[in-house]
Amino acid sequence: MSAPFVPPFVVAVDGPSGSGKSSTARGVAQRLGLAYLDTGAMYRALTWAMLERGVDLSDAEAIAKAAADVVLRSGTDPQGPTIEADGVDVSGPIRGSDVTSNVSIVAAVPAVRAILVQAQRSAINEAATGIVVEGRDIGTAVAPEAPVKVYLVADAAARARRRASELGHDDHDATQEALARRDHLDSSRTASPLAMADDAILIDGTDLTLDEVIDTVVALVEERRS
């Protein structure tokens, strides 16, 4: 295992849904002995809490008010990351269709992003040996000073196959349409839209194995560290 980095060493992994961010980020963190933070899970957990509380998701002010009261806890062990909302383990429920279809709405609320960006920066500061953080605005908004920034993409069909597999069904066409809608919402929102940082390295994982993508990112980290 590589020697610990001087904290806080941040590896920012951004990209659209289904591009392989989570698997890549966890793999890199495990390989290098770093912490791991799934910021998408945080937005999903907050969306789950909104649905549980019956918050009107067409009312941004109501979302903002309710979000301020939700207690989120994100475990950063890449071997077994955890996510809790108000003391409830929501790692399973946040992957359901209700959360998936509404998370972009909740994530677009500026107050929500402000709350979670603060929480994400706190997690980064608490990572003694460094951390791999994955999401959609890590390199541009959460940790723009990160020494390593990666923007991971894959073609639409590959992303649809991966996401359909995660959800346990084989309707690739419907999944691809849903991903396209999510991309539009994430990239067009006013607050911290999905975007590639100017100094990020673009990696197209369409024709690469997961190990090959991890190897590429690890090489970037080792190069930057040296």
Evaluate if residue 81 carries a pLDDT over 80: yes
Q: Classify residue 3: in a domain, yes or no.
A: no
Residue 8: pLDDT band with limits 50, 70, 90: confident
- Please write the tens of the pLDDT for every residue from 127-183: 988 999 999 999 999 999 999 999 999 887 777 676 666 666 666 666 667 666 766
Q: Classify residue 76: in a domain, yes or no.
A: yes
The CATH number for 70's domain is 3.40.50.300
Q: How far is Cα 29 from Cα 214, in angstroms, rounded to an integer? A: 10
Q: Classify residue 50: in a domain, yes or no.
A: yes
The confidence score (pLDDT) of residue 225 equals 87
Selected residue with higher pLDDT from 53 and 170: 53
Q: How far is Cα 79 from Cα 75, in angstroms, rounded to an integer? A: 10
Q: Classify residue 2: in a domain, yes or no.
A: no
Q: Classify residue 175: in a domain, yes or no.
A: yes
Angle between helix axes 97-107 and 172-188 (nearest 10 degrees) is 20
Evaluate if residue 27 carries a pLDDT over 50: yes
pTM here? 0.86
* Number of domains making up the chain: 1
Tell me which DSSP letter residue 141 carries: I
Taking residues 180-206, report their average pLDDT. 81
Write out the residue range of the structural domain in which residue 120 sits.
10-225
Q: How far is Cα 37 from Cα 127, in angstroms, rounded to an integer? A: 10
Distances (CA, A) of 52 to 29, 43, 78, 96, 110: 32, 14, 28, 13, 21
The confidence score (pLDDT) of residue 123 equals 95
Q: Which residues contact 194 (CB under 8 A, 6 or more apart)?
A: 14, 16, 136, 137, 183, 186, 187
Residue 2: pLDDT band with limits 50, 70, 90: very low
Q: For residues 42 and 83, is the Cβ–Cβ distance under 8 A?
A: yes
Distances (CA, A) of 217 to 108, 199, 201: 29, 15, 9
- Average pLDDT value for the chain: 89
Q: How far is Cα 80 from Cα 1, in angstroms, rounded to an integer? A: 18
Q: For residues 102 and 25, is the Cβ–Cβ distance under 8 A?
A: no
